[in-house]
Structures are given as structure tokens and as C-alpha cells.
Chain A
């Protein structure tokens, strides 16, 4: 059970980073930490004690216990989506750097009210 709470703790670490950091790149890193805490959680859901990888091979043990393959498939899909999100965030961040000349969000505040 502890592991699941550690996952949630990691999620909160990422959230804390997003809220408190002032640097755009550090915000992106915090966001990625949050993302991967969710992926870890998914990987944990599918885990079965003494399970083997869910692949049909020739030398399988008798009556194999497979780990759940579905969360793994979901994590792979989510990683692909996460890749797209990170790429978008970084692309926007470097564009912002070009326009404002800084990564500090205290100086990037044209939108108010």
C-alpha cells in the first residue's frame, strides 16, 4: 500500500513544483514529474505477485500467472501523449524566451484582469 501513497506523494511533489517554481523550464520539469507519477501508478495497478511478462513464448512455466497487460498498454499510449505535451510545452517555452528574453514568469505577465 505504501507504494501507492508514494506515487501520490510524487504527484503532489510535481504539483508543488508547478505552483512554486518561477522558471518556465522548471515548470515543465515539474509537470513531467507529475505525469510520470501517474504512469507509475498505472504500472503498479497491473502488477501481480510473482507474475510473468504477458508474452506467449515457448518456454513458459506451467500454469503461468501473467501480470495485467492492459495498464501497460495504457501507460505506453499515455507516454506517447505525454511526449506530445512536453514537446508542445517546450516549443512554446522557447518561443516565449525569444519574445520576452527571460524564462521568469514574474516578468511574463501581459495578461491580467
Chain B
């Protein structure tokens, strides 16, 4: 896949950082404001997809990135499961038990384990969207090479 013009590249470079920060903001404030892990994760993925589209990439490199993102996806789901199963082992022996202190309403560090779940799911969603995007684009690239 070829990259686009230098103007697009520069703008994408500048914008993707801001988009990334916005996505992270949405994810970590999931327990306080509307939005949350899914919306934030999609925004995060958007930043990466913008970069890939603007700069272009070789198929070999795209494959490596796909492997990386799918492993990230699996690892973050496993981490979520471990977090949920930890409630089964400690405290009140209940799956998905919220065993962390709750804190005060409205603060960033509050609501027990919910922000942790939000962050992990955010990473998972971002990685999943990137994996889907890469899988489709690799398929298209291989078609064109033939």
C-alpha cells in the first residue's frame, strides 16, 4: 500500500497524537462520563488506522503488526479474565467481585476495579479494530500483488 502526499502525512502525524490522547481520556474517564471503553477504544484505533493509511506500509510489515495487535488483544482479554477471576479467589469468592476500595464519587481514582476493566477493554477494542482493519487490508494487498 502506497502512502499519501506529504501534506496528508504531516497532518496525520499531528492529528494522530491528539486523537490518541482523546481516546485515552475517554477510556480512563469511563466510570465518570459518557463514553467508556468501547467508544474510547474505537477512537484509539482510529488514530493508528489514520497513520497506517497516510504513510502506507509493506505487506510483510502489516503482517507483523497484525500478529502484534492480535496478541495484544488476547493478552488484554486474559488480563480482564484474571482480574475477574481474582474475585473468585480472594474476598467474597464471587466471579467479577469488585474487591478494591470504592473511593469517592466523581474522582478519577474511584469505583473500585471498574477503571481497570475499562482500560483493559479499551486496549482490547482498539487492538481488535486494528486487527480487523489489517486483516482486510492485507487481503486486498495480496490480491493486488497477484
Please state if B105 and A87 are interface contacts (CB–CB under 8 Å). no
**In chain B between 18 and 40, which residues have their CB closer than 8 angstroms to a CB of chain A?**
32-34, 36, 38
User: 1/0 per position for A61-94, CB-CB distance to B under 8 A?
Assistant: 0000000000000001001100000010011001
Please state if A94 and B34 are interface contacts (CB–CB under 8 Å). no
Please state if B135 and A91 are interface contacts (CB–CB under 8 Å). yes
Please state if B136 and A94 are interface contacts (CB–CB under 8 Å). yes
B106 at the interface (CB under 8 A from A): yes
Question: CB within 8 A of A94: which of B33, B38, B106, B139?
Answer: B139
Please state if A87 and B106 are interface contacts (CB–CB under 8 Å). no
Residues of A contacting B135 with CB < 8 Å? Answer: 91
Please state if B34 and A58 are interface contacts (CB–CB under 8 Å). no
Chain A residue at minimal CB-CB distance from B121: A80
Residues of B contacting A53 with CB < 8 Å? Answer: 34
Please state if B139 and A80 are interface contacts (CB–CB under 8 Å). no
Q: How far is the CB of A72 from chain B (nearest CB, A)?
A: 9
Please state if A56 and B106 are interface contacts (CB–CB under 8 Å). yes
Report if A76-B38 is in contact (Cβ < 8 Å); known contacts: A87-B132, A94-B136: yes
Please state if B143 and A98 are interface contacts (CB–CB under 8 Å). yes
Query: CA–CA, A90 to B139, complex, Å?
Result: 12
Please state if A55 and B106 are interface contacts (CB–CB under 8 Å). no
| Count of B interface residues, CB-CB < 8 Å | 14
Residues of A contacting B105 with CB < 8 Å? Answer: 56
**In chain B between 108 and 145, which residues have their CB closer than 8 angstroms to a CB of chain A?**
125, 132, 135-136, 139-140, 143
Chain B residue at minimal CB-CB distance from A88: B132
Residues of A contacting B33 with CB < 8 Å? Answer: 55
Query: CA–CA, A95 to B33, complex, Å?
Result: 40
Residues of B contacting A94 with CB < 8 Å? Answer: 136, 139-140
Question: CB within 8 A of B136: which of A56, A58, A91?
Answer: A91
Q: How far is the CB of B121 from chain A (nearest CB, A)?
A: 10
Q: A94-B140, A98-B139 are known contacts; what are 10 more A-B pairs with Cβ within 8 Å?
A: A53-B34, A56-B105, A57-B106, A58-B106, A76-B38, A80-B38, A80-B125, A91-B135, A94-B136, A95-B139
The 25 listed contacts between A and B (C-beta, < 8 Å) are: A53-B34, A55-B32, A55-B33, A55-B34, A56-B105, A56-B106, A57-B106, A58-B106, A76-B36, A76-B38, A79-B38, A80-B38, A80-B125, A87-B132, A90-B136, A91-B132, A91-B135, A91-B136, A91-B139, A94-B136, A94-B139, A94-B140, A95-B139, A98-B139, A98-B143
